[in-house]
C-alpha cells in the first residue's frame, strides 16, 4: 500500500448534514463554491456530484487534509482546486483562483474569470480523523502530546497554553470557549500539576478537579476543557468573525453562505452576523428606489431558523447531534 493510499484510508470522515448542504446550494448561480473547511472532501464531493453547474475551491489548514482531498477530487479535473490555507484568508484564495483561471484561459483562448462566488461552505470544529489520531492531541480518549493545532506546521501547541498561561488567562479560556462552570477549579489544578505533557494527563487533572456529582452527567468531564483549548490554540472564533463578512461580500447575487456550527459560541456569532445582514433598517424616503443609507437588508435567511440533523443521521453519525446549519443568500451586488 502506498503512503497516499494509507493517508486516504486514515482520513475517513462522514460529512454532517450533507444532504441539507447539497440542497441549500442547488439554487445558486453557476460558478465557484468555496469549501473553507475541506477536510476529507466529503461535502465537496457531494456538491460536485449533485451540481454540474458548480466548481469547488477547497481550503484547509491541515496539510494531511489537503493531501487527501487533492487525491479524492482529482477525478473532477478543473472543476476542483485545493489550497493549503485558513478559511479567513478566503479573499486571498479567491485571488489565487482568479490567477489560476487567467493562466487556464490564456492557454485555451477564453476570457472567463470568476467575478464572485456562487457559494461558501464552512463546517466548523474538528474532524473525526483529527480526533482519532493520538499524535494530533485533540482527544482525551487517546494518549498523545498536547498539540491541538489544525496546522501542525505553525502556531503554538496547546502545551504552551496549558503550561504558560496564568490562572486568570486559563479561567478566561475555559469560560469563554468552553462554557466551563468549574473553570476556576480546573485552572488551579492545572497550575498545581505543571508540567502537563499529554492529553491523558490533562484529562485526569480535569476529571479530578470537577466535583464528583458534576462528573456523573454531561459526558466526559474534560470535553469542555479540550474544546476551549482547541479554540484558543487555533484562534477559531476570531477567524470565524473575520471570514463571515468577507464571504458575504464575495458572493454574487443569489449566492449563498452555509455555516455548520457545533457549539453555542460559534452559533451565536453566525446567528448575529446573519441577523444583522438580514435586518431592514433602511430610513430612505419611501419610493426613492435604491437604498442610499446602507440600512437595507443585504441577505435573506433560508430558512430563517437553523437546520438540525434528523434522528436517523444522529443514529449513524453521533457528531451530528450538536450540528446547526444556517444559510444566508446574498441580495445585493458583490464587491
Cell of 18: 450533507
Could you say which DSSP state residue 254 is in?
Answer: E
What pLDDT does residue 102 have? 56
What pLDDT does residue 110 have? 40
Q: How far is residue 74 from each of residues 45, 133, 311, measured CA to CA in Å?
A: 10, 25, 34
Q: How many CB atoms lie within 10 A of CB 293?
A: 11
Between CA 37 and CA 164 the distance in angstroms is 30
| Torsion region of 208: left, alpha or beta (phi above 0 gives left; psi -120 to 50 gives alpha) | alpha
What pLDDT does residue 217 have? 76
Between CA 155 and CA 285 the distance in angstroms is 51
CATH 3.10.20.30 is right for the domain spanning 3-128+237-330: no
Could you say which DSSP state residue 113 is in?
Answer: -
pTM of the model: 0.88
135-235: CATH class: mainly alpha
Task: Give the start-to-end residue ranges of the domains of the chain.
Answer: 3-128+237-330, 135-235
What pLDDT does residue 103 have? 55
Name the one residue in this structure whose C-alpha cell is 470522515: 13
Q: Print pLDDT tens along the chain (335 aa).
A: 344 445 555 566 689 999 999 999 999 999 999 999 999 999 999 999 999 999 999 999 999 999 999 999 999 999 999 999 999 999 888 887 777 765 555 444 444 556 789 999 999 978 777 787 888 999 988 899 999 999 998 899 999 999 999 999 999 999 999 999 999 999 999 999 999 999 999 999 999 999 988 887 778 899 999 999 999 999 999 999 999 999 999 999 999 999 999 988 999 999 999 999 999 877 787 766 677 777 788 999 999 899 999 999 999 998 899 999 999 999 965 43
What pLDDT does residue 220 have? 87
Between CA 49 and CA 47 the distance in angstroms is 6
Contacts of 162 (CB under 8 A, 6+ apart): 146, 170, 190, 194, 196, 202, 229
Contacts of 211 (CB under 8 A, 6+ apart): 182
Contact by Cβ (8 Å): 8, 68:
yes
Amino acid at each position: 500500500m502506498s503512503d497516499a493510499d494509507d493517508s486516504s484510508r486514515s482520513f475517513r470522515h462522514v460529512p454532517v448534514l450533507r444532504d441539507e448542504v447539497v440542497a441549500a446550494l442547488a439554487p445558486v448561480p453557476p460558478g465557484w463554491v468555496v469549501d473553507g473547511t475541506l477536510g476529507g472532501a466529503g461535502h465537496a464531493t457531494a456538491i460536485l456530484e449533485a451540481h454540474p453547474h458548480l466548481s469547488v475551491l477547497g481550503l484547509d489548514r491541515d496539510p494531511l487534509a489537503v493531501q487527501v482531498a487533492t487525491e479524492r477530487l482529482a477525478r473532477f479535473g478543473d472543476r476542483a482546486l485545493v489550497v493549503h490555507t485558513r478559511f479567513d484568508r478566503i479573499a486571498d484564495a479567491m485571488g489565487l483562483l482568479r490567477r489560476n483561471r487567467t493562466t487556464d484561459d490564456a492557454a485555451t483562448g477564453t476570457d472567463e474569470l470568476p467575478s464572485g462566488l456562487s457559494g461558501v461552505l464552512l463546517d466548523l470544529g474538528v474532524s473525526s480523523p483529527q480526533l482519532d489520531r493520538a499524535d494530533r492531541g485533540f482527544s482525551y480518549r487517546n494518549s498523545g502530546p498536547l498539540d491541538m493545532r489544525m496546522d501542525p506546521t505553525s502556531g503554538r501547541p496547546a502545551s504552551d497554553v496549558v503550561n504558560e498561561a496564568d490562572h486568570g488567562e486559563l479561567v478566561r479560556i475555559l469560560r469563554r470557549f468552553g462554557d466551563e462552570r468549574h473553570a476556576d477549579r480546573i485552572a488551579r489544578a492545572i497550575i498545581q500539576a505543571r508540567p502537563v505533557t499529554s492529553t491523558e494527563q490533562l484529562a485526569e487533572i480535569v476529571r479530578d478537579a470537577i466535583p464528583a456529582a458534576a462528573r456523573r452527567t454531561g459526558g466526559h468531564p474534560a470535553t469542555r476543557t479540550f474544546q476551549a483549548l482547541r479554540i484558543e490554540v487555533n484562534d477559531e472564533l476570531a477567524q470565524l468573525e473575520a471570514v463571515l463578512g468577507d464571504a458575504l461580500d464575495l458572493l454574487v447575487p443569489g449566492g449563498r453562505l452555509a455555516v455548520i456550527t457545533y457549539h453555542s459560541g460559534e452559533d451565536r456569532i453566525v446567528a448575529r452576523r446573519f441577523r444583522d445582514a438580514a435586518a431592514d433598517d433602511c430610513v430612505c424616503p419611501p419610493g426613492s428606489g435604491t437604498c442610499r443609507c446602507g440600512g437595507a437588508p443585504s441577505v435573506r435567511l433560508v430558512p430563517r431558523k437553523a437546520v438540525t440533523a434528523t434522528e436517523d443521521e444522529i443514529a449513524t453519525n453521533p457528531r451530528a447531534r450538536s450540528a446547526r446549519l444556517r444559510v444566508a443568500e446574498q441580495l445585493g451586488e458583490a464587491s
